[in-house]
Amino acid sequence: MLRYQLTHPTILAALASAGHGSRVLISDGHFPHTTGAHPAAERVYLNLGPDRMLVTEVLAALVDAAPFEAATVMTPPPEQAEPEVFAEFRAALPGVPLDGLDRFAFYDAARAADTALVIATGDRRTYANLLLTLGVRTD
């Protein structure tokens, strides 16, 4: 029996087949899930309705199951304030740097061949996309 909260079989299989340096995209409901990530990436659609599921809810399940060494967010234009969700990301990923890319650079990063998994959510918060890089277990 698993000792962590994540039980989704497709997500578990994708994490198990990915390795150090592979990326996992948790996307908000505005993200182009079909065209905005590498075609070979496994896709899981959890966007059941508005704000179901939230990116932060998926993140909580993932950090309990896998180590992450880096995180990248899609940053808004300079004239806009930092989205509040970024503070939630930092709180959920202590010690993990939160890097930012503008929208089109973020799309390019998500389309890279090392993106192994895309998890679509119904999160309506803008700029709530998070591209995680798998790390190495330390235990």
Output the average pLDDT for the chain: 95
Residue 12 lies in a domain: no
Which residue, among 15, 49, 2, has the nearest Cα to 118 in the 3D structure? 15
Residues 6+ apart with CB under 8 A from 139: none
Mean predicted confidence (pLDDT) in 16-34: 95
Whether the pLDDT of residue 3 is over 90: the answer is no
Whether the pLDDT of residue 1 is over 90: the answer is no
Residue 5 lies in a domain: no
pLDDT for the residue numbered 138: 79
pLDDT for the residue numbered 2: 63
Among 22-26, 30-34, 90-94, the least confident range? 30-34
Residue 108 lies in a domain: yes
Residue 47 lies in a domain: yes
The H or E element containing residue 27 is: strand 23-27
Tell me the CATH number at 42.
Answer: 3.40.1650.10
Burial state string for 102-130 with b = 16 or more CB within 10 A and e = fewer than 16: eeeebbebbeeeebbbbbbbbbebebbbb
Residue 13 lies in a domain: no
Q: What is the pLDDT of residues 77-112, one digit of tens each?
A: 999 999 999 999 999 999 999 999 999 999 999 999
Number of domains in the chain: 1
Whether the pLDDT of residue 136 is over 70: the answer is yes
Q: Note every long-range contact of 78-82, with CB atoms under 8 Å and residues 24 or more positions apart, other chains counting.
A: none
Three-class SS state of 39: coil
